[in-house]
Amino acid sequence: MPDSSRPLRKLGFLTIGLFDPADPAAGHESTLQVIELGERLGFDTAWLRHRHLQFGISSPIAVMAAASQRTSRIELGTAVTPVGWENPLRLAEDLATVDLLAGGRINPGLSVGEPMHYGTVKHELYPDSADVEDFSYARVDRLARLIAGEPVREFSGKQGVVEEFSNRVEPHSPGLRERLWYGAASRKSAVWAGANGFNLLTSSVIFAEADQGPFFADIQQSQIRAYREAASTSAPAHGSARVSQGLVVIPTDSASAQQREKYQRYVDERTPRTLAPQGPKGMLFAPDLIGSSDQIAEQLHAHAGFREVDEVAFALPFSFDHEDYVQILTDIATKLGPALGWAPASDGQQTP
């Protein structure tokens, strides 16, 4: 079981890809440049949040396709794609296509549930089936089966002189099924992910569990352990069970005085929500970690959830500027990562 004495094996980052609605192309280009920087710094993974009807990336699959042509090694993922917005068959086609373009580097992270603010959009999203759509685990299970290559229909073969049809989703990308992740915030979802052959994404948001005490780190640790137990006892046929944690970290080693003031103000504004469960579902938010890399490393080594993992995808703050992300990623790769025992990929140049 990983603990604070075990080196961090994989280091990644997560970005929302914020953009100005008056100039969305610039924000998307910034995201691509950040991913390129991540590869040069030796990061193992880059993850994209998935936002609909907001000013963040709405099509991370398209952005991953673009990033795959501007990078050669870094793995690309979504954290997470809410499958309630998607047709699983069409999504399977897109993910497999991009995975092949990327040379097998795609890590789709998924979640289920009714789309956010569903009542305001269902008339456009599902005008004829809004009241009968299935937003349960079955939806993401169907996606996984289609990606694995299970038959869609009985019909296949040639029709006429030119047309040839398949009975499965095409293209098929071998290995993609083993790289599917599930974003779980509750023990129930963590156990389901483990029992059904998904890797586990756990982040800075979880749901309070009545029998696990009030502390975020302890609840997260319990959920990860429940996931691993479910994965081991179910003997899934989809490879080893991986777990990645995604807290917000803001190292300030090379930050300017102005940046440090800006970062601290951001953290101060968000801290009150971490003091008690929020909303009817009892969401718990982890505190943002800010300070020198040594200070952050010390806090992480004391964090019960972090001690369970050897992979992370540190979340970049939502609303910072491009130069801020360059500074934060550079400090993570050159200072915080090594303080956690991580070494950059062999082709990482360690220069921005």
* DSSP output for 235-268: --SS----EEEE-BEEE-TT--HHHHHHHHHHHH
Amino acid making up residue 173: S
How far is residue 255's CA from residue 87's CA, in Å, rounded to a whole number?
43
Q: Which residues pair with 248 in a beta bridge?
A: 315
CA atoms in the 13 A half-sphere facing the CB of 6: 11
Report which secondary-structure segment, H or E, holds 157.
strand 157-159
Is 161 within the bounds of a domain?
yes
How far is residue 298's CA from residue 81's CA, in Å, rounded to a whole number?
32
Q: Residue 348: its pLDDT value, please?
A: 47
Cβ-Cβ contacts under 8 Å for 123 (sequence gap 6 or more): 130
Is 154 within the bounds of a domain?
yes
Determine contact, residues 79/203, Cβ cutoff 8 Å.
Answer: yes
How far is residue 201's CA from residue 315's CA, in Å, rounded to a whole number?
12
Q: Residue 214: its pLDDT value, please?
A: 80
Is 213 within the bounds of a domain?
yes
Helix, strand and coil percent figures for the chain, each rounded to 5: 40, 20, 40
Q: Which residues pair with 182 in a beta bridge?
A: 110, 200
Count of positions (residues) in the chain = 352
Q: Which residues pair with 205 in a beta bridge?
A: 285
Tokens 């603010």, residue located: 117
Q: Residue 347: its pLDDT value, please?
A: 53
Is 349 within the bounds of a domain?
no
Residue 255: closest CA among 203, 330, 334 = 330
Is 316 within the bounds of a domain?
yes
Residue 149: closest CA among 131, 173, 115 = 173
How far is residue 175's CA from residue 75's CA, in Å, rounded to a whole number?
14
Q: Is the bond leading into 171 cis (omega within 30 degrees of zero)? A: yes
Is 204 within the bounds of a domain?
yes
| Domain housing 169 | 10-339
DSSP one-letter code for 158: E
How many domains does the chain divide into? 1
Phi/psi for 41 (5° steps) reads -80, -10
DSSP one-letter code for 83: G
How far is residue 325's CA from residue 340's CA, in Å, rounded to a whole number?
20
How far is residue 277's CA from residue 298's CA, in Å, rounded to a whole number?
25
Determine contact, residues 296/328, Cβ cutoff 8 Å.
Answer: no
Single pTM value for the model: 0.95
Coil, strand or helix at 171: coil
Coil, strand or helix at 100: helix
Q: Residue 236: its pLDDT value, please?
A: 53
Is 344 within the bounds of a domain?
no
Amino acid making up residue 231: A
Residue 288: closest CA among 313, 316, 308 = 316
Q: Residue 280: its pLDDT value, please?
A: 84
pLDDT per 10-residue tile (average), the chain, 352 residues: 70 97 98 98 98 97 98 98 98 98 98 97 98 98 98 94 95 97 97 97 90 85 96 70 97 98 98 91 94 98 97 97 98 98 72 40
Is 37 within the bounds of a domain?
yes
Determine contact, residues 75/46, Cβ cutoff 8 Å.
Answer: yes
Coil, strand or helix at 283: strand
